[in-house]
Structure 1
Amino acid sequence: MLRLIGAFRNSARAFRRLLGSEAAFQQEVVLLLAAIPVGWFVATSWRSYALLIGVILLLMLVEVLNTAIEAACDAVSSEFHPEIQLSKDCGSLAVLITILIAGAVWAIAVIERIVGGPI
């Protein structure tokens, strides 16, 4: 049980730090807070609502991992290294791919809401 409490404290510390210093994470938290009520009106079922919120949480997860990669790379060296640049670029690409997935999921949900059923 103590291990679980310690893990929760570490996670809360990371959340507070990201919320205080990472603009992308701050924007994604705002996006999540907006998506919770908007998704309720867009979704046609509980399943689609869970998917709409889940894809935003997925985006936040990938952003957290990208930030971890960048922090680890910066801790290793402040000098330019092609391998470090590739690591950072790959993390950034992962975020972009997740944004595209989230946008597609939300676009499909909006279209389904407008036409009145699955497309």
Structure 2
Amino acid sequence: MTRVVHALGYSLQGLGAAWKFEAAFRQEVILAFVLFPCAFLLANNHIELVLLISSLFWVLIAELINSAVEAVVDRTGTEIHELSGRAKDIASAVVLLSLILLAVVWGIIAWHRFLGS
């Protein structure tokens, strides 16, 4: 149980660091807080609700991964290196794909809710 408590503490420290040092994470958290209640209004059933909410969490997860990769790459040095750039670009692509997923999920469900048959 002690390990679980410590792991929770480390996770909360990670969330705190992301909030403190990553503007994009703060913006995405605010977006999630705005859209989360909207998901309950938009969803017609529990499956749609799960899709809407999980797409919000995927964006936050992707941003945390991106921030972690950037921190590790920046920690290793300030010189420009092809592999460092590639790692950062790939992590950034994870965020982009999660945002596209968010837009697709929300767009399809909103389309069916307001314009579909």
Q: Structure 2 length normalisation: TM-score?
A: 0.95
Q: Compute the RMSD of aligned alpha carbons.
A: 1.1
Query: How far off its partner does 1:100 sit?
Result: 0.6
Query: How far off its partner does 1:74 sit?
Result: 0.6
Aligned to 1:92: 92
Aligned to 1:46: 46
Query: How far off its partner does 1:116 sit?
Result: 5.2
Aligned-pair identity in percent equals 30
Determine whether 1:32 maps to 2:44.
no
**Runs ≥4 in structure 1, deviation > 6 angstroms?**
none
Give the number of aligned pairs: 117
Q: Structure 1 length normalisation: TM-score?
A: 0.94
Aligned to 2:105: 105
Aligned to 1:67: 67
Within 1, Cα distance between the matches of 2:62 and 2:4? 23
Aligned to 1:77: 77
Structure 1: which 5+ residue stretches go unaligned? none
Q: Deviations over 1:63-110 (max 9, x none)?
A: 101111000001111110011001001111111111111100000010
- AA at the equivalent of 1:115: L
SS for the counterpart of 2:78 is coil
